[in-house]
Structures are given as structure tokens and as C-alpha cells.
Amino acid sequence: MTDRPLFPAQEIGSLAKPRWQILGQRGEPLDERARAELRDDDARLGFGAELPDARAALLAGRSRELGGEAVRDLGALFALRLLESAGLARVYDGEARRIEMYEYPIRQMRGFRFQGHVRSFDNKYYLKAAAVDEVRLDRPYHVEEFDFVRRHARAEPKLPITGPYTLADWSYNEHYLARQPGWKGRAARRSAQREFVVDLARRAIRPTLAALIEHGCRVLQIDEPAAGTHPDEADLVVEGFNAATEGLDAEFSMHICYSDYRALLPALLEAKRCAQWAWEFANRDTDQHDGYEVLKALHEYGDRRTIGLGVVDVHRDPVESPARVAERILRATRYLGDPARVWVNPDCGLRTRSLPIARAKLAATVEGAALARASFENPRR
């Protein structure tokens, strides 16, 4: 047991990038609105004094001269201070240096070839690669990014990284499928996918996790948003997780969102070194539907891991009241039977919301946790 108060709050994913960072990264001088936002952000959070040259160059319109990396440093520091100022016990940099969670990791590996764009819906597309050879890691990634966070963080850093199952699911499997004999039906596809996931885990993700741990990272969140896409492959999610974390000494969690969690149980519970399930719940919690009821299933299976409880919806602007958040926390606690197992966070990354809305939702998360905590500390209130 730690001496942490009940219901500590944590980051869960990306934040929207401020306008000044976007323009600065492009090497464009800040317009009046971006300059005003940078001044306001700095006045509120005080991060500019830590990188004064970068702040001054941006405000003076010298973005190109400053360079993208220095702008991203300032953006990362801004996000870090924003999360810390909200009162989060575990923080990261809002993924200020990342623009997505698939292409960058894949580009750090060999054995892949990008094939082109696939339409997601309407005029939205994503780039997709195929595994055309055995997966190999060029070099561990996210390490410099983590180093920056470690040097600057005042709260405990927690690093999010895309998991092996999701990287495999979002890629085409050519190499491993070609090795399967005969007709490439369901059985062959599944067998090939297993090889692909495990290879990704062992050859790319695990060395990256090891390097991050070597650099001092103690808390890592494996993001597996694709886990819910094929519920009958939950065992592959687990196999990838176990292979990626085998023999590593750190605290691991698994983030899954917008999925039918029941369909993934009990297979998911075989993830050996997963200390926490960080799942989205608030999005599905309405007056008509109890979004947290699935936690009963974890209790029934006897699973005693902690929960990263999604208490605010990242797809809607209206900000949940602290009372609503507290009620959700207490309800989840009843289902789990132990308040010490509950961490709180937004459902998923807040990048879909504007920064003011994101700040308000983080504040509601922390204030709601305080209300819930008070009901334990002062049960008669």
C-alpha cells in the first residue's frame, strides 16, 4: 500500500495542441490570437520561464529560426504543467510530440511497407502499412520524449505506448500469412496474426519498453484500442501484452476504449503483468444505462487489479459536474468492493476537446475524486 489518497487522478492520453504550437511547428510566425493564447497559457501555468528563449522566439515571430523541436519542447512542457496544475498524480506531456499512434511506431521498425490510404469514413483516411518481412526494431522510440518528461515532471510520469495487438490489427499481415500453407482461410489468418502480434511484441515493443524502463520509466500504459474490434481475438491481445512485458520490472496498465468489455472477458484476465485496466466508461453512462456495471463482472471473476476509471466523456463538450463524477466513482467502488483499487481519469485522450474544455473536464475529475474521497473520510457528511 502507498500513502496515496483514495481515488488519485491520472492522465490517459493526448491533449489538443495549442494554436501557438501548431503554427510554431510549421515554422509560421504566430498570429495575434496564438500570441495571446501563449501569453495566457504562460500566465496561468508559468512554463515559459523554464524555456524562456523558446517563448521569446515564438512571441517575436521567429518560429522558423527556433525550429520544430524547440517548439515541441515548449508544447510538451505546457501540457505537463497543465496536467500537474489540474492536480493529477500521474502525468505525461499530452503526447505533444505525437500526431497519431500508428504511423510513428511503425516507422521506427523494419519489415513494414506503407501501402497507401484507406478511407475511414466520408473524406477521412488513414495510412496503412503491410508487414512484408519479419518485424525488426530500428531503435527504441519515445525515449527522448520520455527523458524530457522525466527531467521536467513534478508529478509521477506515466508513458502511453501503442500495444502490439493494435499495431498488428491496424496493419496488413502479408509476411506471416504468406508462410501459412494452403488456403488462407480463418484458421490460417488467425495463426498468422498470432505470429505477427507476438513478433511485434517481442522484437519491437519489448525492447522499447526495456529502453524506457532503463531510462527511468516506472509506469507504462499499453494502449490497445483495437482490442474490442475482434472480441474473439482477446487471447491474442493478452499474448501480445505478455510477450511485450515479459521479464520487465515496471507498473503496466492496459488502456482499451469503446469496446464491449464483457466480450473480452475472461480471456483478458490472463494478462499477467497488467496492474491496471484503464477503460472508458463515462461515454456509455447515461440515465438509462449504467456504464459502470461491467465492473461487476471483474469482481465476479475475482480480478483484483486497479481500475483507471473513465469518469468524464471525451466526445462531448458539456462538462460533468464534480458531483456527477463523485457519484460515478462511488458507484464503481461499490461494484469493485474496494476504494483503494480506483484511479480516476478521462475516458480517453482529451485531444478531441478544446483546451479550455479539457481543462474543465480535468478539474471536474479531480474535484469529483475529492468529493468521493470526502465521503469515505467523513462518512456522515
Partner 1 sequence: MNVHAGLTGPFPRSEALVRATRDLDRGRTTPEAVEEVFDAAERDVVQLEARLRLDTVSAGYLRWPDLFRPIAETWEGFAVGPLARWFETNTFYRQPILYAPPVRVPGAIAARLPPALARDPARARVVLPGLHTFAGLLDNRAGEAAPALAHRLGRLLGDEVRELRGRGYRTFQFTDPLLAIRPPDGPTAEAVVAGYRAIADALEGGTSIVWTYGGDAGPAFPLLDRLPVSVVGVDLAETEPERIPERKGGPGLGLGIVDPRTTLAEDPTEVARVVREVHARRRPPVVWLGPGGPLDLLPYEPAARKLHALAAACEALGSGGRP
Q: Which residues make up the interface to partner 1 (CB under 8 A)? A: 115-123, 125-126, 128, 130, 169-170, 172-174, 177-178, 182-187, 189, 226, 229-230
**DSSP character at residue 9:** B
How far apart are CB 169 and partner 1 at their closest, in Å? 8
How far apart are CB 137 and partner 1 at their closest, in Å? 22
Angle (CA) 230-236-240 rounded to 5° is 130
How far apart are CB 110 and partner 1 at their closest, in Å? 17
Beta strands 159-162 and 156-157, pairing class: unpaired
Distance between CA 220 and CA 274 in Å, rounded?
10
Distance between CA 135 and CA 129 in Å, rounded?
12
| CB of 107 or CB of 117, closer to partner 1 | 117
**Cell triple for 9:** 487522478
Residue 23 belongs to what H/E stretch?
helix 19-25
For 238-268, give the DSSP string: HHHHHHHHTT--SEEEEEE-SS-HHHHTTGG
| CB of 77 or CB of 177, closer to partner 1 | 177
| CB of 83 or CB of 227, closer to partner 1 | 227
**Cell triple for 262:** 464483457
How far apart are CB 228 and partner 1 at their closest, in Å? 9
Distance between CA 243 and CA 249 in Å, rounded?
13
Q: Distance of CA 330 to CAs 6, 201, 324, Å?
A: 11, 36, 10
| CB of 16 or CB of 344, closer to partner 1 | 16
How far apart are CB 264 and partner 1 at their closest, in Å? 13
In sequence order, the β-bridge partners of residue 128 are 116
How far apart are CB 259 and partner 1 at their closest, in Å? 10
How far apart are CB 128 and partner 1 at their closest, in Å? 7
With H, G, I as helix, E, B as strand and everything else as coil, classify residue 366. Answer: helix
| CB of 128 or CB of 305, closer to partner 1 | 128
- Cβ atoms of 71 and 97 within 8 Å: the answer is no
| CB of 78 or CB of 170, closer to partner 1 | 170
| CB of 189 or CB of 305, closer to partner 1 | 189
Distance between CA 218 and CA 349 in Å, rounded?
21
